[in-house]
Homo-oligomer: A and B are copies of this chain.
């Protein structure tokens, strides 16, 4: 099956927003066995939208549109589809009532212009949108030049579009194809993409299930995908593949799908009934920020110190003679910071980070030189890393590596 994506909205052509909908959808088509050859963005002009839809229907089996389903005169996707298919838009009484009820529940009278969100053409049916006012359209003419072709039209608001795709469009498309699809993203940290790929290469040859590695900012992801007659069968195939991935990459895997490294570490701390404290220098509060992004983190994160100045480090428990003897950019200072973090915040586990975020060198150490330390109940482990990247990346990579050290310490992996 060949597909084409069409993103509609003048704001895309003014550069006011970047089209993240298209790349999100693109990622979801390959596992469905659907090939994507073109993506286009077009403004709120019914002639140009119609022309682009007609061309797409001429060369693809499936056209996916986002945007242009709102109630205003700028929202012209329905009008364009009606023009291309050659069928009039008709108000659906039941749909109109649902829309009116939706407004009434919010104590508002529905503006007259919203009626067009309750229209359909004969070849289309509704894709429900319980979280927004714009229903989608599934258009599939039975006759004419485009007989059998499918147009899936969804709102441009990303969270409405994603829900409609996942809950409505994708299952219907999967059934049209040879079965149902199940995917699992296995997330790793502490290993590069090529090393990870090397270790799972023997699992990457199959065509169903498939395994594909992706280098992402939060580590290397492995996406396992299977297609089967039922969801249960597809899930079982993916789980069997995931077992094989765990056999070779186990210690690097921190989570699945949307789970973050910080969530995974928080879960481990809760399970072990332990708490965490931090003392950060070059990461400058980023570790604390990442940890406190997790809802409920106050249950396992006591807090931390951003000891940016040396006097503050000493005041917060780093012995002056360690700094005098080894300097601030040293393994010894990182270790002392981890211990001070644990003790000052009254936690079981402490993180200490010191290094040169850049761009300038410090104490004769090059930008990118960092020391990371974890004190777990008095047992201290310290590593040195060198990140040849800009300041923001040095902070980001250091923060991730330090939290990963806590994960490994809790799992007794080192």
Residues of A within 8 A of B (CB): 12-20, 22-30, 36-43, 45, 48, 52, 214, 278, 280, 284-289, 291-293, 295-298, 301-309, 311-312, 315, 344-346, 357-360, 391-392, 395
Contacts and interface: CB of A to CB of B under 8 A. Distances in A.
B360 A295 contact: yes
Nearest to A41: B39
A315 B317 CA distance: 14
B305 A306 contact: yes
Given A15-B29, A18-B18, 14 more contacts: A15-B25, A15-B28, A18-B20, A18-B22, A37-B45, A37-B48, A38-B48, A284-B288, A284-B291, A285-B289, A292-B395, A302-B311, A303-B308, A309-B346
B308 A297 contact: yes
A40 B37 contact: no
A120 to B, nearest CB: 28
A290 to B, nearest CB: 8
B308 A305 contact: no
Given A288-B284, A295-B360, A302-B309, A40 B43 contact: no
Contact of A16 (B40, B43, B214, B287): B214
Given A293-B391, A297-B308, A303-B307, A36 B13 contact: yes
B305 A305 contact: yes
A22 B18 CA distance: 8
Contacts of A280: 285, 288
Which of A22, A28, A285, A286 has most B Cβ within 10 Å?
A285
A73 B161 CA distance: 36
